[in-house]
Structure 1
Amino acid sequence: MTIGGCCDDADSPLLWILTSEITGQEGGAISIQCHHSEDFKFISKYWQRGLEWNSCETLTSVTFGEDQSQRSFPLSRSRLDMTDSGHYWCVGEYSEVKLGTPLELRVKASSLLWINDSVVTGIRGGMVSIRCHYTQDYKCYVKQWCKGEEWNSCEIVAQAMTWKVGDKVRLDDDESQDIFTVNVSALEMTDAGHYWCIMENNEVKLGTAVKLIVKEVLPSTETSTSGIPPTVQTSSDMPSLSHKEKAFISLAIMGSSLILFLALSIILKRYVTKMKGELYVIITTI
């Protein structure tokens, strides 16, 4: 027996989603929870896609017993494409009974949560700041910074309003500017990797991907067998002259120039005197 809808009567819901519509952005990620009654914690559950209830395509399948305390399971999709827009169903089955509640996913080209550059580069020992922009509709969402290549299994590294002085990672949410900023200090090579800027409320989670690259402070050098990195001597590494040595060399050059000038002056004076004598003899003879 197949039942479309979320409950058997108005007072006792069996399977439900708190919102029937969710909007994501192209290239981003979304996650939404589908809840079920405690009475149905052992039935199979999955998501289907399609407008018609009886002709849907099954997307994922899990078992209720995996996390009975939550009594919910997520629909998570990353790297959203415009073709992901459409109708989905949260489905639960028990014996011959099948329950379903609908969800509409809209993927927009315009950004809801974005950064200006999806690749950020920092220097080991330094600091980077990542500015995550969002639209006004998401001011009240909890802002998070999550590490991990996969959207469903990333580890939350920082969250707004929870950091303290001295923390390596700090997240500040400026609601007046619709920006939350992630500051990562004392960068290490292990900090490199894939991250997500995330906005989340109790039911819906949105995210956009960021890649952090950490480079060495100086160009890498090979280590010698003694354990000491080899050095390459350049012109800038050669010993430089002291101020006294430079002054001595300058005075020596000036002294040599003066002696040369005096010598030339004496030779020129003698030559002129000699020429005058020869000219006098010629005049007297005449």
Structure 2
Amino acid sequence: MAPNGRLAGKNAVITGAGGGIGLETSILFAQEGASILMADISAVALEKAKAKVLQLVPDAVRVETKVCDVSKEADVQAAVEALDAWGGLDVIFNNAGIMHADDADAVSTPEHIWDLTQSINVKGVWFGCKHAVLALRRNGKARGSVVNTASVVALVGSATPQLAYTASKGAVLALTRELAIVHAREGFRFNSLCPAPLNTPLLQDWLGDDKEKRLRREVHFPSGRFGEAVEQAKAVVFLASDESSFVNGHDFVVDGGMTKAYVTPEGPAAPAPVNNALKDKLDS
């Protein structure tokens, strides 16, 4: 643990901490001197994740875990209020989310998959924001940082249909922007992390063995690769720290240039139909 780390003295809740971005963020937060509560719906994943954090950061200030289903307000509230005994919450990373294998287009997505996705990805973030504000006020904090995981698909169309997920992440951006304005005078900052598709278990499980679906994703990266979770975690450290004290309401995009690139799938393109009327007009 860095005694003068960028997050020294801060108490943080990280949801979805059992793997992926949440785990990598937990490791970096511990290295930067934060006391962390790792929350996840899976007790088994949490214990493995905690063991990894302590293995890599044996002198961490404090690392605790709490099983938490973010779609249930009581679970989120309990996780946030647990930090009252530490001096109160300073940072929350609302990262837990799902991208279900049955999530498709408007015609094919089952209603229960839509509802499940919104319940976790949107309502779970709302609960985290709500109880973060209450905790920051309750503990007399003059400042606090809330980071919500959104996605680049909230900014650009997805190459592969995943409508419930895309809609949920668009909601996260809108929610975050509004809260950033509402609570700015209290010193509470709200920012969204917008990752590109990453090399995480969540994405790999969703892609499965579908080579066409995988190519439709990979081809849009100028670098030709998916991002790594630790690259996102480094951005979260910045947003959580006082280094970003004037960053508020931002859609913080970490995508390897994906949303700035014009890339088309490899292989021969089908010839476009000729519009003879337009051609004649242009030639005249």
TM-score, reference length from structure 1: 0.29
Name the structure where helix makes up a greater proportion of residues.
Answer: 2
Going by fraction, where is strand more abundant, 1 or 2?
A: 1
